[in-house]
Chains A and B, each alone.
Chain A
Amino acid sequence: MTQVRIGMAGCGFSASLHIHGYKQVAPARCLVAAVCGVPKAEAEAFAARHGIPEVYGSFTEMLAGAKVDAVDLAVPNYLHAPFIIEAAKAGKHVFCEKPLTGYFGEDRPQEELIGKTVPRRKMLEQVIARCDEVVAAVGASGIRFGYAENWVYAPAYLKLWRLAQAAGGTILRIEAEESHSGSHADYAKQWRTSGGGSLMVKGSHPLGAALQLKHWEGEAKFGRPIRPASVLCEVGNLTWIPAFQEEKEQYLRTGWRDVEDWGIIVVKFEDGSVAEVKAADTTLGGVHNYLEAYLSNARLRANINPTDACVAYAPAAHIFGDEYIVEKIETKGGWTQPSPDEDWNQGYPQEVADFVAAVAEGREPVSGARLARDVSIVLYAAYVSAEEGRRIEVGPLLG
Chain B
Amino acid sequence: MAKVRVGLVGYGFAAELHMPGFKGLGPDRCEVVGVCGRSRARAAAFAAKHAIPRAFESMSEMLAGVEVDAVDLAIPNHLHTRFIIEAARAGKHIICEKHLTGYFGETDTPDSELIGKSTPREQMLERVVEECDAIGAAVEGAGVRFCYAENWVYAPAYVKLRRLAGAAGGTILRIEAEESHSGSGSVYAKRWRTAGGGSLVLKGAHPLGAVLQLKQWEGEWKSGRPIRPASVFCEVGNLTWIEAFKREPVHYLKTDWQDVEDWGIMVLRFEDGSVAEIKAGDTTLGGVHNYLEAYLSNARLRANLNPNDACVAYAPSAEVFGDEYISEKIETKGGWTFPSPDEHWNQGYLQEIADFVGAIGDERQPVSGLMLARDVAIVLYAAYVSAEEGRRVDLGRLR
Task: Show the binding face of A for B, using Cβ within 8 Å.
Answer: 169-170, 172-173, 221, 232, 234, 236-244, 247, 249-252, 262, 264, 266, 268, 271-274, 276, 278, 280, 282-285, 294-299, 389-391
Contacts and interface: CB of A to CB of B under 8 A. Distances in A.
Nearest to A242: B272
Interface residues of B, number: 45
Contact of B297 (A169, A247, A295): A247
In the A-B complex, the 4 residue pairs with the closest CB atoms: A391-B390, A389-B392, A238-B173, A172-B239
Contacts of B299: 284
Contacts of A271: 242-244
A173 B281 contact: yes
Interface string B250-290: 11110000000001010101001111010101011110000
B174 interface: yes
B326 to A, nearest CB: 16
A297 to B, nearest CB: 5
A78 to B, nearest CB: 29
A283 B275 contact: no
Contact of B275 (A232, A249, A262, A296): A262
Contact of B263 (A173, A264, A282, A285): A173
Nearest to B267: A234
Contacts of A251: 297-298
Nearest to A177: B176
A237 to B, nearest CB: 7
Contact of A241 (B235, B238, B272): B272
B321 interface: no
Contact of A276 (B240, B273, B279, B391): B279
B220 to A, nearest CB: 14
Nearest to B222: A243
B248 A170 contact: yes
B237 A274 contact: yes
Nearest to B248: A296
Nearest to B394: A389
A172 B243 CA distance: 11
B246 to A, nearest CB: 9
Nearest to A282: B173
Nearest to A247: B297
Contact of B392 (A252, A276, A295, A390): A390
A280 B297 contact: no
A364 to B, nearest CB: 26
Contacts of A294: 281, 283-285
A280 B233 contact: no
Contacts of B286: 299
Interface of B: 170-171, 173-174, 222, 233, 235, 237-245, 248, 250-253, 263, 265, 267, 269, 272-275, 277, 279, 281, 283-286, 295-300, 390-392
Contacts of B233: 232, 234, 389
A244 B281 contact: no
B245 A170 contact: yes
Nearest to A175: B279
Contacts of B274: 236, 238, 241
A169 B170 CA distance: 43
B275 A238 contact: yes
Contact of B390 (A238, A262, A390): A390
A278 B277 CA distance: 10
B277 A247 contact: no
Given A173-B263, A272-B239, A241 B173 contact: yes
Given A271-B243, A274-B239, A297 B297 contact: no
Contact of B283 (A173, A243, A250): A173
A236 B174 CA distance: 10
A317 to B, nearest CB: 16
B272 A249 contact: no
A232 B273 contact: no
Contacts of B237: 268, 272-274
A110 to B, nearest CB: 30
A314 B40 CA distance: 63
Most buried by B among A234, A283, A295: A234
A169 B296 CA distance: 37
Contacts of B273: 236-238, 240-242
B392 A250 contact: no
Contacts of B240: 172
B248 A169 contact: yes
A336 to B, nearest CB: 13
B285 A299 contact: yes
Nearest to B173: A238
A268 B241 CA distance: 14
Nearest to A241: B273
B174 A238 contact: yes
A284 B267 contact: no
B171 A264 contact: no
A178 to B, nearest CB: 14
Contacts of A243: 171, 222, 272
Nearest to A244: B171
A236 B248 contact: no
Contacts of A234: 233, 267, 269, 275, 392
A143 B283 CA distance: 43
Contact of B242 (A170, A282, A284): A170
Given A169-B248, A172-B263, 5 more contacts: A172-B242, A238-B174, A238-B274, A262-B174, A271-B244
A237 B390 CA distance: 23
A247 B283 contact: no
A133 B244 CA distance: 36
9 contacts: A172-B239, A172-B240, A172-B283, A238-B173, A241-B171, A266-B265, A274-B263, A294-B283, A296-B245
A102 B267 CA distance: 26
